[in-house]
Structure formats: structure tokens, C-alpha cells
Amino acid sequence: MRSRAFFSMFLLFALLWIAPAIHSASPVQPNDADNDNVITYSLDNNRVYRVAARPNATPEDVSANLDALSAGAEDHLLNVSPNGQWLVLETDRFGCSGWPCLAVVKADFSSGGAVSIGGQTVHPEGSISAVSNNGDLVVYATQDGPHATDLYASVRTNGVWGAATLLTGSSTYNWHSMPALSVDASTVLFDCDSDQSNVGEAVCEVHTDGTGFRVVLTPADGPGPQYNPLHSPDYASDGSIAFEGDWDGETVWRLPAGVTTPVKVGGHNNDNSPCVLPDGSIASLWMDRPGGPSTHELKVMRADGSSYFMVLTGVDIYDVGIGCGGLSTQPLYLPVIISAQPANTVRLSWTNDASYSRYDIWRNTAPYFTPGAVPYVVVTPPPNYFDDAGALGDPAANYFYLVEGQLVPGGSLFSRRLGEFDFALRPGE
């Protein structure tokens, strides 16, 4: 008679194709990591900056880098192309001393110059401008058109900026500002206003050749008072549009592709001027952080608002528009490693970061579980691991994990989903 033998085996793995949140490693300057997504912003000190879309990141002084290209004392309204490779701003550099003009600069600061059309430099009016992924198309606002302010586009061919194309000639609104280009630069979103005091009455769109003007959304399309303004629209990679709405206070909203009813993103009040990063997360200027100074602090949150982190705190960013761009469309995560230890133990380990006050561990027998109200266990540093003793070895019980890092001064970010899988092997007879 032959006996039967049974063997138990297990696998440890990470589910890389689903992501509960976004995260990064330790703070770094954006020029230290080519694949960082970045946010551009201005301060009320005639200087402009960019910063990696990471918790508590170190900002980079773009004005200081521009000094190597051309001397100047005034930099304003910095924006970035969707792929992060080009910058556009108003500056008194590049021969524009005395009257800041529009300039386009390579994001590595290897080249740059003023936008000159027909021998005349361009002087935008009261709004950030937008630049395409190849740096050869700009959209800007001026007072040169049939309305109080209009949007124009210019294309650069063989190093020469071509004649400006009026984009908002068909609009029934009087003020047009805050352009945001699509990734392929075929269309642009922007604020439409009947009265300048509304600061963004409706969301409009037009093709960059000047055709196809349309009103995307008005205050009447939302859930609150019809007179409340909409502001600062931007495209998301899934076809939706993020924007600031004021139906129940200034908050971030999203208009999903193919629908007409917007949805609120998260529960953050006094949340302003959003832009969308390539991974779908939304950067904004938040004035209502608990314990904060009630100034425009820079926040990044998931596309659905379910988690967030603070990029910059204690810095009052000039609320004239921020820019989002970068190469990576993959969300960033809290880096956690899963490994097997003696005594059938699963170990979850990470590198401690001063940005985190504690790590909440969630465990479930279903791989796509939603974290509940109470974590499985809480780890407060200095330990940089958690051992789940006895979790291995039972084919009838497989476990899946999320690690949620609680951030200082606020917010939380998750790891990828991690799991162990046991299965029994039965040799043939």
C-alpha cells in the first residue's frame, strides 16, 4: 500500500494593479528625480517655484534657476506643461525689463525665451497661461480681442512664433482666463465670466484652432445656488474635469466624462484652484487644514478625495492658479515589503519616514477589501515592521494587507495591496 503525503506551500505577493491611494518615498527636490510629478506655484514676492508632488516636499526656486538664463527681478504666474517638460510664465527677463512678458522655458533650464509674435512680445493680462507638451503652443489671455479679456493661441514653427489665433471670439461671456490644455493640446478649458468680480462664473472649452467653443458647465448645473461661481478647470486622464465649485462653499468638484452632473471630491472646505496630476490625483490650495494657519496651503488628494497629503504647510501660496505636470501616470505608494519569517509569520516592513506618525495595518481574507473603522493593528515608530505570527501555512485562510501611513501634519497614504496565499500539494498515486 502506498501512503499519501500532503505538503503546504505559500506565496507572498503584492497586487500591483489596484491602488487604494497615492504616496511617495522621502521628500526630494523635483530635479533630483526625473519621474516626479510636479506642481508649480507663485508667491507674492515676485518669485516662482515648483515642488514634487510628495508629502512635505522641498520646493525648488525656479526664479533662482532662471538667473542662469537671463537676469530679472519679477517672475509671476508659473505654469507647467502636462508632461512636466516645459514651463510658461510672465517675467521681466529675456529683454522684457519694465513690463513682464510671456516666456517659455525648458523645464531643465537648458533654454528659454520670450514669446514674440510679429516682432512684438506678448503681455498677458491677469491669468496664468498654458504651454503644450512639446513647448510649441501657448495659450494666454489679453485685452486685445472683442471682449474685456480673450484667450489666444500661438504655435511655434522652426523657432518662430506664429500669428495669434483668437479662441474665444464665439463666446457670449466677457472675461476669459485660467486656460488648461489637454494632453494632446487639441482643446483648452478655461474660466468664463460675465462680470470680472465673479472670478470664474462658468467652465468653457474650445479647440486650440479657435473652433468648437462650448459652455461645459454653469452654476445652474450643480446642486446649489445658481449664482455661485465655478473656477480653475483642468482635464483628468480618465476624461473627467476637475474644478472649484462654490455651491456649498469653495470645494473641489469633478465632472465625469459623458455626464452632466458634477460630483463633490472629498469633504475639504475652503479648497481652491485645483489642477490634475498625470496619475489622476488633484492638487489644490486648502485653507481649512485642522490646526493650520487658514492660508493657501498646498494639498494633494486622490481623484475621489478619499485620502490626501500636504505638500507644503506654513506657506501662503499666491492664489492666481497652480500648475500640474509630470511623466508618471502611476500613483505613488507607501513602499512596503512583504516577506516570510520563521514560525509561519508574515512580515510587513517599511523605511520609517519623519512624515509619518504611525502605521495602521489592515488585514482581510478578501483581496479587494475596503478598510474598516478599526485597523487590525497599529505600529508607532521606531519599529519599522509588523510580524503577523501564524498567518502562513493554512490553505483555508489566506490574508491580504494594506498599510496606511498616518501623515504629519495631516492626511494618510496607503501601500499597494499585499497578500499571502497558501495551497496544498497532493502527490499523484
CATH topology of domain 30-325: Neuraminidase (2.120.10)
Write down how long the chain is. Answer: 429
Question: Do 427 and 4 form a contact (C-beta atoms < 8 A)?
Answer: yes
Residues 6 or more apart whose Cβ sits within 8 Å of residue 125: 141, 142, 143, 149
CATH topology of domain 7-20+333-425: Immunoglobulin-like (2.60.40)
Return the pLDDT at 257: 93
Return the pLDDT at 11: 67
Three-state secondary structure along the chain? CCCCCCEEEEEEEEECCCCCCCCCCCCCCHHHCCCCCEEEEEECCCEEEEEECCCCCCCEEHHHHHCCCCCCCCEEEEEECCCCCEEEEEECCCCCCCCCEEEEEECCCCCEEECEECCEECCCCCCCCEECCCCCEEEEEECCCCCCCEEEEEEEECCEECCCEECCCCCCCCEEEEEEECCCCCEEEEEEECCHHHCCCEEEEEECCCCCCEEEECHHHCCCCCCCCEEEEEECCCCCEEEEECECECEEEEECCCCCCCEECCCCCCEEEEEECCCCCEEEEECCCCCCCCCCEEEEECCCCCCEEEEECCCCCCCCCCEEECCCCCCCCCCCEEEEECCCEEEEECCCCCCEEEEEEEEECCCCCCCCCCCCEEECCCCCEEEECCCCCCCCCCCEEEEEEEECCCEEEECCEEEEEEEEECCCC
Return the pLDDT at 106: 97
Return the pLDDT at 199: 58
Domain segments of the chain as ranges: 7-20+333-425, 30-325
Choose among 89, 146, 120, 57: nearest CA to 354.
Answer: 57
Return the pLDDT at 222: 86
Return the pLDDT at 190: 97
Return the pLDDT at 335: 93
Task: Write down the residue that cell numbers 533662482 correspond to.
Answer: 64
Residues in the chain where the model's pLDDT stays below 50: 1-8, 16-33
233 vs 2: CA distance, rounded Å: 73
The verdict on whether omega for the bond into residue 55 sits within 30 degrees of 0, i.e. cis, is no
Matching fold, domains 7-20+333-425 and 30-325: no
Phi, psi of 247 (to 5 degrees): -70, -35
Return the pLDDT at 29: 43
Question: Do 321 and 273 form a contact (C-beta atoms < 8 A)?
Answer: yes
How many Cα atoms within 13 Å fall on the side-chain side of residue 256?
Answer: 7
Using alpha carbons, list the distances in angstroms from residue 70 to 66, 130, 275, 384.
6, 21, 29, 47
Return the pLDDT at 65: 97
- pLDDT 10s digits, 331-384: 888 999 999 999 999 999 999 999 999 999 999 999 999 998 899 999 999 999
Q: Nearest-5° angle of CA 194, CA 200, CA 205?
A: 90
- pLDDT 10s digits, 12-50: 665 533 333 222 223 334 444 456 899 999 999 999 999
Question: Do 186 and 205 form a contact (C-beta atoms < 8 A)?
Answer: no
